[in-house]
Amino acid sequence: MNLTSLLAAVLEQSTPILLAALAAMITLRANILNVAVEGMMLAAAFAAVAVGDWSGSAWPAFLSALVVAVVLSQLLALLTLRFFADFIVAGLGINLLAAGGTLFILERYYNSPGGLRPIAFPDIWHIPAGSLSWLPVLGPAFEGQSVIVLIALVAVPLTYVFLYKTPLGASLRAAGEDEHAARSAGIRIAAMKALSLAISGLLAGLAGAQLAMDKLHFFLPDMTSGRGFIGLAATLFGGGQPWMTAAASFLFGFFGALGDRLQVFAIPSQFVLMLPYVAAIIGLTFARWRILVRNRPARIRDNPQ
């Protein structure tokens, strides 16, 4: 039973990270380091809560989360691809805009800068309790999880198939890996990058919807709390490959679930929460070090120490 509850916690913690990671991965394959996932998630979470509160029904809330995130992604695409803004700077701008915009709306229209807590909030579909009891351990862990958890799990093979098994995916990867080659094959680079950003927005929107609609049913100005960046870390740790990225996301989700439990053993939660970021830096450093050792000429005399 304990294992089941840990599994359930890991699944719950991992889902927004996994979606954010896939969002960052799809743009990374188009050679964009997408630092705006965090902001798109935040805006999506807010849209879900605001529309859910207003309409009283789950699907408009869910859809508006996706729409808001995709719109933000296309704003980023417009500024970077059409007006040549820097991807990193403009991406950070999206984050600031999402944080500032939601705060502004909270203050101005809800008169509550601390957050938005609807009294009643529509439920999104969750796997009914007891429906998977025939599956030992794993089944009960899935019970009570939202439909977005299932979408996230399906998104992993879907992105894999898209990237590696479709002509469009091949064009996107070519645009990301070698613009000169892609352009000479008649591929429109800007269109591919905009497409990758749109998909990224969709996935980030799902992540934001999961945060707001799964259990919490409210919005806080800092509710994404760096999950977009953990997702980015997971993607980089996974080398931009769908399966490895998913594995890294679950690993980081596991750290998160562990963090809640380790407080009992007097290990400060901050150090557990830190693990994904430390892992990303070490993982990247190690990968670069291996490439260096493999490809560069020997530097025997270069480093006397």
Partner 1 sequence: MAPALSNFLRVIRAPLAAILLTLALGFLLVASITDEPVRAYRDLLLANFDSLGNFALFLNRATPLTLIALGVVFSFRAGVFNVGGEGQLYAGAVTTTVVAIAGASLPALVLMPLAIIAGFLAGAVVGWIPGVLKVRLAVDEVVTTLMLNIIILLITSWLANQVIRDTTAYGAVSWMVPNSIWLPPLPFVPRATSGFLVAAVLAVVSWIVLFRTQWGAEVRAAGTNLRFAEATGVPAARRVISAMVIAGGLAGLAGALYVLGVGHRFEQNFSPSYGLVGLTCALLARVHPIGSLATALFYAAMLNGAAYMQISTDVPRSLVNLLTGLLVLLMTARLRRAAQAA
Partner 2 sequence: MPTSKRAPESVLMSDPDIILSLAGIAKSFGEKAALGHVDLDVRRGEVHVICGENGAGKSTLMNILAGIHQPNAGSIVLNGKTVTIADPIAASRLGIGMVHQHFTLVPSMTVAENLFLGRQPRRLGIFSDRRQMADRARELIARYNFHLDPEAPVRTLSVGQRQRVEILKALAFDADLLILDEPTAVLTPPEVDELIGVVDGLRARGRTILFITHKLREVKAVSDRVTVIRRGRSISTRNTADVTEADIGRDMVGREVFLVGRKGSAQRSFGAPVLTLDNVSMTNHSGRRLLERISLEVRAGEVLGIAGVDGNGQTELAEAIAGLMPVQAGKIRFGDRDLTDADLRERQQAGLGFVPEDRLDRGLSVTMSVAENVAATNYKRAGLLSGGLIDRHKLDSFAGDKIREFDVRGAQPSTQAGWLSGGNMQKLVIARELERDPSLLLICQPTRGLDIGASEFVHARILQAADRGRAVLLISSELSEIFALSDRIGVMYSGRMMRILDRAEADEETVGYLMNGGSKEAA
Is position 177 an interface residue for partner 2 (rule: CB under 8 A)?
Answer: yes
Question: What CA–CA distance (Å, rounded) separates 228 from 276?
Answer: 12
The single residue among 9, 77, 99, 206 that binds partner 1, judged by CB under 8 A, is 99
Report the b/e string of 148-179 with b at 16+ CB within 10 A.
Answer: bbebbbebbeebbebbeeeeebbbbbbbbeee
Backbone angles phi, psi at 222, to 5 degrees: -115, 30
Least Å from the CB of residue 174 to partner 1: 16
- Binding partner 1 (rule: CB under 8 A), the pick from 103, 147, 244, 262 is 103
| Phi, psi dihedral angles at 146 (to 5 degrees) | -80, 165
* Using rule CB under 8 A, residue 35 touches partner 1: yes
Interaction partner, residue 174 (partner 2, partner 1, none; CB < 5-8 Å by kind): partner 2
- State the Cα torsion 29-166-148-243 to the nearest 10°: -60
112 binds partner 1 (CB under 8 A): no
Work out whether 43 is an interface residue with partner 1 (CB under 8 A): no
For partner 1, the closer CB: 2 or 303:
303
Q: How far apart are alpha carbons 210 and 147 in whole angstroms?
A: 9
Residue 173 binds partner 2 (CB under 8 A): yes
136, 165, 266, 305: residue in contact with partner 2 (rule CB under 8 A): 165
Hey, which residues between 114 and 173 contact partner 1 (CB under 8 A)?
Answer: none
Query: Please, what is the angle between helix 242-262 and helix 2-28, to 10°?
Result: 140
Based on the shown chain and the rule CB under 8 A, indicate whether residue 294 belongs to the binding site for partner 2.
yes
63 binds partner 2 (CB under 8 A): no
Considering only 3, 89, 137, 185, the residue that binds partner 1 (CB under 8 A) is 89
Query: Of all helices (H) and strands (E), which one includes residue 33?
Result: none
SS3 219: strand
Distance from the first to the final alpha carbon of the chain = 54
Q: Please give the Cα distance from 66 to 261 (Å, whole number).
A: 32
305 binds, among partner 1, partner 2, none (CB under 5 to 8 A by kind): none
Asked whether position 187 contacts partner 2 by CB under 8 A, the answer is yes
- Per-residue DSSP letter, 116: B
Kindly list the distances between the CA atom of residue 100 and the CA atoms of 42, 48, 103, 138, 265, in Å, as whole numbers in the listed order. 11, 17, 5, 41, 38
If one asks whether residue 293 binds partner 2 (CB under 8 A), the answer comes out as yes
Number of amino acids touching partner 2 (CB under 8 A): 28
Binding to partner 2 by residue 301, rule CB under 8 A? yes
The answer to the question of residue 84 lying near partner 2 (CB under 8 A) is no
Residue 178, interface with partner 1 (CB under 8 A)? no
Residue ranges binding partner 2 (CB under 8 A): 161, 165-168, 170-171, 173-174, 177-178, 180-182, 184-187, 293-302
